Amino acid sequence: MCIWFVVSIMGMCLMVILHFLSVEHLKLQKKYGKERGTKIGDIFGLISGWGFFMFWFGVWLSPQPIFAIPLLENVVLTIPIINLSIPVIHLIISVPLIMIGAWLGIASVKETTLKVAETHRTETIVSSGLYLVIRHPQYLGGMIAHIGISFLLSSFFSLIATPIVIILNFLISWKEEKELIKEFGKEYEDYKKNVPMFIPKLRKREE
């Protein structure tokens, strides 16, 4: 297995640990004081967030075996500038997934602001827009886009690492919620009861 792929997966895991520390706002403020604790948490949040994303890039782009769906195998789109050949069937699968993932990520950041997305610290519970439907649209978007990019690049290790990616995003979401309950109490518990984590509820049609 490619060393860069392994390093990238290990880097993502390391960033999750740092993320855990970054969202412990009350603990950091108690230990270092409100102002300093907040700054430390924000720094941890920036490093863990961007670090996680950069290592994720490594998972996609590290040298690894390619795979192909045994359908329309000879129909390939070639991009000569970057010397990349993409099976058309992979393109058909990947483009919608990447677009959905990107839309979820961008729309969720618009709801919470980029600062909240980077530092993982919010002053209020956001329950509008996508956050009315699921609690973590940004992470859901990342997971969907991961599958799409794995197909786009025909990256075999990246595709089979999808369960690891899902587990890491679940752990991040779980830890954030644990700390949000400490900060907002019943208000967040009620929100959590009414809104699912990743999979939207199917609404019953009113008769």
Taking CA 116 as the corner, what is the angle to CA 114 and CA 117, rounded to the nearest 5 degrees?
60
- Long-range CB contact pairs, 125-131, < 8 A, 24+: 125/180, 125/184, 125/187, 125/188, 125/191, 127/191, 127/195, 130/104, 131/195
User: Which segment of 68-72, 87-91, 196-200 scores lowest on mean pLDDT?
Assistant: 68-72
The tens digit of pLDDT for each residue in 52-68 reads 999 999 999 999 999 98
Instruction: Say if CB 22 and CB 175 are below 8 A apart.
Output: no
In a domain, residue 29? The reply is yes
User: Which segment of 80-89, 98-107, 119-128 scores lowest on mean pLDDT?
Assistant: 80-89
What's the structural domain count of the chain? 1
The tens digit of pLDDT for each residue in 19-61 reads 999 999 999 999 999 999 999 999 999 999 999 999 999 999 9
Helices H, strands E: what count in the chain? Answer: 9, 2
Nearest to 195 by CA among 144, 110, 140, 131: 131
Q: The domain containing residue 83 runs over which residues?
A: 3-194
CATH code of the domain covering residue 111: 1.20.120
Q: Looking at residue 121, what is its pLDDT?
A: 86
pTM metric for this prediction: 0.90
In a domain, residue 184? The reply is yes
In a domain, residue 181? The reply is yes
Could you tell me the CA-to-CA distances from 82 to 23, 78, 129, 153 in Å, in that order?
39, 9, 38, 12
In a domain, residue 204? The reply is no
The tens digit of pLDDT for each residue in 106-141 reads 999 999 888 888 888 888 998 888 999 999 999 999
Q: Using a pLDDT cut of 70, give the percent of the chain over it.
A: 91
